[in-house]
Amino acid sequence: MKVLKFGGSSVANSENIKKVLAIVAKASQKEKVAVVVSAFGKTTNNLLAGASLALSDVKKAKENLSEVEDLHNQIVEDLIPNNKTTVIDKVTSLFDNLYSIYEGVFLLQELSDKTLAKISSFGERLSSYIIANAANETLDATHKESRELIITNDDFLNAQVNFERSNKNIEAFFKENKHQVTLLGGFISANDKGETTTLGRGGSDFSAAIYAAALNTNELQIWTDVPGMFTANPRVVKQAYAISEISYEEAMELSHFGAKVLYPPTIQPALRKEIPIRIKNTFEPENVGTLICKNPKNGNEVKGISHIEDISLITLEGGGMIGIPGFSKRLFATLSVAKINVVFITQASSEHSICVGVYENDALKAQELLNETFSIEIDRKKIQPIHVENNLAIIAVVGESMKNYQGLSGQMFSALGKNNVNVRAIAQGSSEKNISAVINKYDAKKALNTLHEQFFEEKTKQLNLFVTGVGNVGERFLAQLEQQKSFLKKNLKLKIRVIGLSNSRKMVFNNSGIDLKNWKEALENGEPTSLDNFYNEVKKANHRNSVFIDNTANQAVSEVYEKYLRDSISVVTCNKIACASNYDNYKTLKEVSRKYNADFLFETNVGAGLPIIDTLKNLINSGDRVHKIQAVLSGSLNFVFNNFNEKSTFHNVVAQAQKEGFTEPDPKIDLSGVDVARKILILARESGYQLELEDIANNSFLTEESLSTTNNDDFYASLTKNEVHFQQIFKDANDKNCRLKYVAEFVDGKANVGLQHIASDHPFYNLEGSDNIVLFFTDRYPENPLIIKGAGAGADVTASGIFADVIRIANK
Ligand code: ADP
Ligand code: ASP
Ligand code: MG
């Protein structure tokens, strides 16, 4: 014999119930089955909400109830063609009874637990009766009233089962019962006076286990709306998957800590008789689902992660507790008498404080009662008044074989820390089946996803990008990302999503990732942007592995990096302003990045996509020291002087460079040498020297007139006006058979930038197009420098440099 239990969503409407009947038909071909059903869909919630409403507005409560009645009549209409009248009569009489009870609640202004149990029992009384009749249309089916079989104490809403009496009743009934299929309402029971009690919300699972254990069935099947018990709640963690086999104890821990798919008490009766529990999906019946059994096949050492929201922490604290026995006994006795469920306990070994987690609904009552219990000690200042902290959640990592592995809790807490999830309290059972942590409830989703990635997805890592600036570089970056998506997933096991995107006018967010094929449209339809709004949205999204990417050349954007880093959000930027700002600011950003474990990467600040800063970092980290740097670092200036001669005009060559994307949006920043000065400054700083921009000698080749312009038009006009000046510069070099290169030098702590005449035997002489070159002279490369050379400007190579920084973060 088997017991099959179908939950609320499995019997939410006629369509679904047809699926249930097909499953029952198949299961009952070979053996007898007992079928336990929940109330239809959300009926229990609706009945209970109606009961509360009846206290104040009985008319509205009855109106709502008539909608519930309609649902039931519709199902009868759809599924019971033959025996309809009898069934409708019975349904009507049950609802008439309910309307009267609502009326009574209103008149008496009384809604005790006893009445609530009675009201909520109608859901399962109706559903089991209707489905029994629907099944009877094609199968040999009968209905049995659960309240005649399962006997409990007087705890109306959370009744404790008298197993001795219930088992006897169940055995006796099934001994006589000859029908192939027996329909029973879950959740409902009765006390020894025959009054209706209920087994707690979600209790139909438990009813099914009680029947299975009493009847010693070979299996208990729980049919629901997901194909098994998942590694985490699939509504919160998209990557969660069904666990194939799990032990009773592990399943109990997971369900106790919030995996709603199974009501926690369900396991006990099944475990006692070692009846395997199979969790299956009504809407995907071929899927094997999850098997809960005594000796599951070896799986991951961490089996699952679950969480409970709306937790409060209650702290009993004070020097007066140390060494004096009895405090915890009084604490727990107080909570237990008031039937307040303790979800979590920790005690510091100094015995200076005890901390318990309770459901938020119970917190106020617990606080009042405990302040009363300890009033004398509090008055005498031996302990402090009871402290309550709300808006918390518990996350629990569960797995029986965790105890055999070292470092799991280390992994857990470092993953949480890396993602800026603050842990308020920790508990680990000595059986080590479970490590749980109390966190802010607003971090729960991020924490679950972080831990899921840590323990179940080592193979794929997800990075969440927030990109600001979609000009030349930004646009190319997004295109490259889209193009490489499948490669990254397949070869690097990396899933990179752009969650937020902004330009100077608009911003758009999509928590499942913006479609990079249509980002322009999405951005156009976005909201007005501001740096603050963007930051607030990033905070609100609260994703793990978040990276803020700055593709602008904007001062204000560069000023927000610190805020992101302090939230453990990495920053990748091609904007040079921050690293070239005053030294203290540069240093602060580096320190904050280290402290909050968030990367701050700016490879593209020098040489676009060339691996200059990364190479320098590797040299320094491995103990090398830089003495001298010589470099041509301006792709734009290189392009300009490679193309400028007596046959062209300086104005046209600069305009061409800008058109091809080789200059900053403001070309004067390149031509004045400021951009090169910033780059050599950054290289000097990365080499370990403390330097300011003003310390760099800048011998500009522009005239005073060009330097003093304030916009692009005036700047270009000044170039035309000073053409003779530029032609002279060219001629002076050409006469000496030299080429013009804009060189940056750093020697013994001093730096300068300026135009130089380069002779044909110098490595800079043949530098083409917009190429950059850097010569590092170090302890290890004293005479023959380490040379890095290649394309050093352009949107594509800069975008690929940004991309490389993102990959560096992912690979850490
Ligand atoms: P039923 O009505 O069938 O009893 P429930 O709503 O009580 O179904 O339980 C199923 C739901 O439990 C799923 O839809 C899912 O949202 C939630 N859930 C929470 N944690 C888990 C988990 N670890 N595995 C599967 N489901 C989970
Ligand atoms: N119908 C009850 C509830 O919603 C019991 C159950 O579905 O398990 O709590
Ligand atoms: Mg349930």
Å from CA of 41 to ligand 3 middle:
11
Q: Which ligand is nearest to the CA of 206?
A: 2
CA gap 70, 287 in Å, rounded: 33
Ligand 1: atom nearest CA of 9 is: 2
Å from CA of 121 to ligand 2 middle:
10
Mutating to test ligand 2, I would choose from 131, 187, 223, 224 the residue with most ligand atoms within 8 A of its C-beta, which is: 187
Q: Determine which one of 2, 5, 62, 679 is catalytic.
A: 679
Percent of the residues in the chain that have a pLDDT greater than 90, as a whole number: 85
| Beta bridge pairs of residue 547 | 465, 570
pLDDT in tens, 645-692: 999 999 999 999 999 888 888 899 899 999 999 999 999 999 999 999
Average pLDDT of the residues of the chain? 94
Cβ of 663 below 6 Å from ligand 2: no
DSSP letter at 325 equals T
Backbone angles phi, psi at 35, to 5 degrees: -115, 120
431 has a pLDDT exceeding 90 = no
Cβ of 44 below 6 Å from ligand 2: yes
Kindly list the protein residues whose Cβ atom lies closer than 6 A to any atom of ligand 1: 7-10, 38, 202, 224-226, 229-230, 232-235, 254, 259-261, 304, 306
Cβ(235)–Cβ(172) below 8 Å: no
Cα of 553 vs its chain's centroid, Å: 31
327-341, 453-467, 585-599: least confidently modelled range: 453-467
Residue 679 bears catalytic tag:
yes
Per-residue pLDDT at 350? 65
Q: How many residues does the chain have?
A: 812
All structural domains of the chain: 2-41+124-224 (3.40.1160.10), 304-453 (3.30.2130.10), 461-608 (3.40.50.720), 612-793 (3.30.360.10)
Q: Nearest 5°: CA angle at 263, between 231 and 274?
A: 85
Cβ of 434 below 6 Å from ligand 2: no
Å from CA of 535 to ligand 2 middle:
42
Å from CA of 333 to ligand 2 middle:
30
Whose alpha carbon is nearest atom 6 of ligand 2?
Answer: 202
375-389, 423-437, 493-507: least confidently modelled range: 423-437
Whose alpha carbon is nearest atom 2 of ligand 2?
Answer: 202
Ligand 2: atom nearest CA of 7 is: 7
Query: Please, how many CA atoms are within 13 Å of residue 713, restricted to the half-sphere of its CB?
Result: 0
Whose alpha carbon is nearest atom 9 of ligand 1?
Answer: 261
Q: Which ligand is nearest to the CA of 208?
A: 2
Q: pLDDT tier at 458 (50, 70, 90 boundaries)?
A: low
Percent of the residues in the chain that have a pLDDT greater than 70, as a whole number: 99
Per-residue pLDDT at 751? 96
Cβ of 204 below 6 Å from ligand 2: yes
Å from CA of 226 to ligand 1 middle:
7
Q: Which ligand is nearest to the CA of 44?
A: 2
CB neighbours of residue 491 within 10 Å? 9
Per-residue pLDDT at 792? 85
Cβ neighbours of residue 160 closer than 8 Å, sequence gap 6 or more: 152, 153
Strand, coil or helix: 506: strand
Cβ neighbours of residue 205 closer than 8 Å, sequence gap 6 or more: 5, 7, 186, 222, 262, 263, 266
Per-residue pLDDT at 128? 98
CB neighbours of residue 487 within 10 Å? 10
Cβ(306)–Cβ(398) below 8 Å: yes
DSSP 675-712: HHHHHHHHHHHHTT----GGGSEEE--S-HHHHT--SH
Q: Which ligand is nearest to the CA of 282?
A: 1
CA gap 704, 700 in Å, rounded: 9
What is the value of pTM for the model shown? 0.75
pLDDT in tens, 319-352: 887 777 788 899 999 999 999 999 888 876 666 8
Per-residue pLDDT at 699? 86
Mean pLDDT of 59-65: 97
Ligand 1: atom nearest CA of 6 is: 3
For residue 65, which of 87, 45, 85 has the smallest C-alpha distance?
Answer: 45
pLDDT in tens, 264-295: 999 999 999 999 999 999 999 999 999 999 99
Mutating to test ligand 1, I would choose from 9, 43, 233, 287 the residue with most ligand atoms within 8 A of its C-beta, which is: 233
Per-residue pLDDT at 430? 58
Cβ of 357 below 6 Å from ligand 2: no
459 has a pLDDT exceeding 70 = no
Ligand 2: atom nearest CA of 199 is: 5
Whose alpha carbon is nearest atom 16 of ligand 1?
Answer: 235
